């Protein structure tokens, strides 16, 4: 059986405790991943701490060159990386390529970070006095990432942190751990000194060891909301800087004047792509007005019927299996809950099997109509290929739905009306908004971050906010003797200095 080990201080490190890594296409165990104990995490933190002063002393441009080379190496093998990712995640290879590519876009941004590390300078803030600020790295920082983007989300974090002069401990999802290890190896090949990027696999034991370590100065987390809240509370209680992104339930609002053909195409891709296992998927559609709802429903049905499920290596498949047997059972449980709560099950994806892959974790596309905001199946995140239609009578009612929802990650509106879109974007209580854009994940030089229970953080991931998160500002006020023309030596002063 293949074994997947940690990458600590530039070396592969095994361990006794192991977890199963499944092939979602067949349901069979394909590898065993090491699960770190506290001592292994401590070894990784130690490797990071040893490497950090040297890495911070490398000038910013040379640090960026390592990332340039890393980008080249990743691009060289993007096809095999995408296949490696799909084999453990279950998403189709073309989608995995996008996962790697979106991560690389943050690496491209990180190559320009020297520009954002420049401080401010005031010459002559007082007589012979100058003031300047330095943006310095925090030290050793860590990232804990979810299964659904095993390439993009680690790169959101380590690309920026490392460009800023920090060293990094990555604790990826134990469900698809191979790709993050390969990224760590490619960073070494690109010239990152050993210990700059360490990859430690594990579960709660590893996460707690990172949260409690006084050496780890900041934690970035992406995953489900309850764990995000736990990480935020425990990490901040330990005095760390923490950004913890959580779950989502994104709404797509459809106004009567929307381009219906394009809207349906966008909704089907955003609801069912990657089997709905995206934090920026659109699992809720809100048509405004009964006629819009009926038209939309009629237009969705044939498109859903055309969807092709297949293995992650099937080039013609629209989406593949979900990540685990437990997740499949959870999604099917929510479909039953929707039925029990009285929503109309229009298309039922339960019980789907793929010939020759009967043990695979497949869930067919599912459509509900007449879903009510009071239903638990609406309030909770399902994270599967399930689209729920909630009908609204007015734009105000439609805006209130995502605004009042516990999650506030992303939202989209489909319309030809500029004023309606403008009002929507300004007033909706959600962090990332799309206007005729179904999955509005911001580009790398902007920042990613939801609101409410989708993010326990005051500062977003990547972009300038990411640089702020991984650095601290030091402000220096200097006076040089002899520059204060004509000034005589003064006595001690016991009042706060002020600008005369
Ligand atoms: P998860 O919360 O189960 O796991 C995320 C990370 O936390 C993993 O590294 C895991 O090992 C660790 N973890 C799991 N249980 C833990 C515990 N009890 N204590 C400490 N650490 C623990 O999430 P997942 O299933 O891997 O990913 C799917 C979730 O992530 C969804 O809720 C999705 O919406 C969310 N997500 C959010 C964003 C975002 O940016 N807001 C992006 C992607 C995914």
SS (H, E, C) the chain: CEEECEEECCEEECCCCEEEEEECCCCEEEEEEECCCHHHHHHHHHHHHHHHHHHHHCCHHHHHHHHHHHHHHHHHCHHHHHHHHHHHHCCCHHHHHHHHHHHHHHHHHHHCHHHHHCCCEEEEEECCEEEEEEEEECCEEEEECCCCCCCHHHHHHHHHHHHCCCEEEEECCCCCCHHHHHHHHHHHHCCCCCCCEEECCCCHHHHHHHHHCCCEEEEEEECCHHHHHHHHHHHHHCCCEEEEECCCCCEEEECCCCCHHHHHHHHHHHHHHHHHCCCCCCCEEEEECHHHHHHHHHHHHHHHHCCCECCCCCCCCCECCCCCHHHHHHHHHHHHHHHHHCCEEEECCCCCCECCECCCCCCCCEEEECCCCCCHHHHCCCCCCEEEECCECCHHHHHHHHHHCCEECEEEEECCCHHHHHHHHHHCCCCEEEECCCCCCCCCCCCECCEECCEECCCCECHHHHHHHCEEEEEEEEECCCCCCCCCCCCCCCCCCCCC
Identify the residue whose C-alpha is closest to ligand 1 atom 22: 204
Identify the residue whose C-alpha is closest to ligand 1 atom 17: 204
Q: Which atom of ligand 1 is nearest to the CA of 454?
A: 41
> What length does the chain have?
500
Mutational pocket test of ligand 1: of 202, 224, 409, 459, the residue with most ligand atoms within 8 Å of the beta carbon? 224
| CATH top class, domain 2-246+454-476 | alpha beta
Mutational pocket test of ligand 1: of 6, 24, 146, the residue with most ligand atoms within 8 Å of the beta carbon? 146
Identify the residue whose C-alpha is closest to ligand 1 atom 16: 204
Q: Which atom of ligand 1 is nearest to the CA of 171?
A: 9
The fold for domain 251-435 equals Aldehyde Dehydrogenase; Chain A, domain 2 (3.40.309)
Whether residue 66 contacts residue 179, with contact meaning beta carbons closer than 8 Å, is answered with: no
> How crowded is the C-beta side of 452, counted as CA atoms within 13 Å?
18
CA gap 191, 67 in Å, rounded: 9
Q: Which residue's structure tokens are 């490497």?
A: 51
Whether residue 314 contacts residue 86, with contact meaning beta carbons closer than 8 Å, is answered with: no
Q: Which atom of ligand 1 is nearest to the CA of 147?
A: 26
Q: Residue 493's pLDDT is what?
A: 84
CA gap 455, 220 in Å, rounded: 11
Identify the residue whose C-alpha is closest to ligand 1 atom 38: 279
251-435 has the same fold as 2-246+454-476: no
Identify the residue whose C-alpha is closest to ligand 1 atom 12: 203
Torsion angle (degrees, nearest 10) of CA 466, 467, 473, 478: -160
Whether residue 301 contacts residue 344, with contact meaning beta carbons closer than 8 Å, is answered with: no
Partners of residue 474 on adjacent β-strands: 134
Identify the residue whose C-alpha is closest to ligand 1 atom 42: 279
Phi, psi of 199 (to 5 degrees): -120, 120
The radius of gyration computed from the CA coordinates of the chain, to the nearest angstrom, equals 25
Mutational pocket test of ligand 1: of 36, 227, 383, the residue with most ligand atoms within 8 Å of the beta carbon? 227
Q: Residue 127's pLDDT is what?
A: 85
Q: Residue 255's pLDDT is what?
A: 98
What are the residue boundaries of the structural domains of the chain, listed by start? 2-246+454-476, 251-435
| Residue 121 burial (C-beta neighbours within 10 Å; 0-12, 13-18, 19+) | exposed
Whether residue 56 contacts residue 195, with contact meaning beta carbons closer than 8 Å, is answered with: no
Q: How far is the CA of 148 from the centre of ligand 1 (A)?
A: 9
* Rounded mean pLDDT for each run of 10 residues along the chain, 500 residues in total: 97 96 97 98 98 98 98 98 97 97 98 96 92 97 98 98 98 98 98 98 98 98 98 97 98 97 97 96 98 98 97 96 97 98 98 94 98 98 98 96 98 97 96 95 96 95 97 95 67 83
Identify the residue whose C-alpha is closest to ligand 1 atom 23: 223
Partners of residue 32 on adjacent β-strands: 3, 20
| Residue 118 burial (C-beta neighbours within 10 Å; 0-12, 13-18, 19+) | exposed
Q: How far is CA 145 from CA 46, 163, 243, 343, 361, in A?
A: 21, 19, 12, 34, 22
> Which residues contact ligand 1 via a Cβ below 6 A?
144-149, 171, 173-174, 203-204, 207, 222-224, 227, 245-248, 279, 381, 383, 409, 450, 454
Mutational pocket test of ligand 1: of 201, 223, 243, 280, the residue with most ligand atoms within 8 Å of the beta carbon? 223
Q: Residue 364's pLDDT is what?
A: 97
Q: Which atom of ligand 1 is nearest to the CA of 327?
A: 25
Q: Which of 116, 142, 279, 398 is catalytic?
A: 279
Is residue 279 flagged as an active site residue? yes
pTM check: above 0.85: yes
């Amino acid at each position: 059986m293949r074994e997947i080990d940690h990458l600590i201080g530039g070396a592969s490190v095994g361990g006794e405790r192991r977890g199963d890594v499944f092939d979602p296409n067949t349901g069979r165990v394909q590898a065993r991943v090491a699960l770190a104990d506290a001592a292994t995490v401590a070894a990784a933190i130690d490797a990071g701490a040893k490497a950090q002063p040297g890495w911070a002393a490398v000038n910013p441009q040379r640090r960026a060159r390592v990332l340039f080379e890393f980008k080249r190496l990743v691009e060289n093998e993007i096809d095999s990386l995408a296949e490696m990712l799909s084999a453990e995640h279950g998403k189709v290879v073309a989608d995995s390529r996008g996962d790697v590519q979106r991560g690389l876009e943050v690496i491209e941004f990180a190559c320009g970070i020297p520009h954002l590390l420049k401080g401010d300078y005031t010459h002559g803030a007082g007589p012979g006095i100058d003031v300047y600020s330095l943006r310095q790295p925090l030290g050793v920082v860590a990232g804990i990432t979810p299964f659904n983007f095993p390439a993009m989300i680690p790169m959101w974090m380590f690309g920026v942190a490392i460009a800023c002069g920090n060293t990094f401990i990555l604790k990826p999802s134990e469900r698809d751990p191979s790709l993050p290890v390969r990224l760590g190896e490619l960073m070494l090949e690109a010239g990152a000194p050993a210990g700059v990027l360490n990859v430690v696999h594990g579960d709660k034991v590893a996460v707690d060891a990172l949260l409690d370590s006084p050496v780890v100065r900041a934690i970035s987390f992406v995953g489900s909301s309850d764990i995000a809240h736990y990480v935020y509370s425990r990490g901040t209680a330990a005095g760390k800087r923490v950004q913890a992104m959580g779950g989502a339930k994104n709404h797509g609002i459809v106004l009567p004047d929307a381009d219906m053909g394009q809207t349906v195409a966008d909704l089907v891709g955003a609801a069912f792509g990657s089997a709905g296992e995206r934090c920026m998927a659109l699992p809720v559609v809100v048509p405004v007005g009964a006629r819009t709802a009926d038209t939309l429903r009629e237009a969705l049905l044939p498109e859903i019927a055309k969807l092709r499920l297949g293995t992650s290596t099937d080039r013609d498949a629209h989406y593949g299996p979900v990540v685990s047997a437990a997740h499949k059972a959870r999604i099917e449980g929510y479909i039953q809950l929707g039925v029990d709560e009285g929503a109309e099950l229009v298309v039922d994806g339960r019980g789907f099997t793929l010939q020759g892959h009967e043990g695979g974790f497949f869930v067919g596309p599912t459509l509900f109509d007449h879903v009510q905001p009071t239903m638990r199946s609406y309030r909770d995140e399902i994270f599967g290929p399930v689209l729920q239609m909630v009908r609204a009578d007015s734009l105000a009612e439609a805006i209130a739905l995502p605004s009042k929802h516990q999650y506030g990650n992303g939202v989209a509106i489909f319309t030809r009306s500029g004023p309606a879109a403008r009002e929507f974007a300004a007033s909706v209580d959600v962090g990332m908004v799309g206007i005729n854009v179904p999955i509005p994940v911001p580009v790398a030089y902007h920042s990613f971050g939801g609101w409410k229970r989708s993010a326990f953080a005051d500062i977003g991931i990547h972009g300038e906010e990411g640089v702020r998160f991984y650095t601290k500002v030091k402000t220096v006020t200097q006076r040089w003797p002899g520059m204060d023309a004509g000034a005589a030596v003064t006595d001690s002063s016991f009042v706060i200095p002020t600008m005369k």
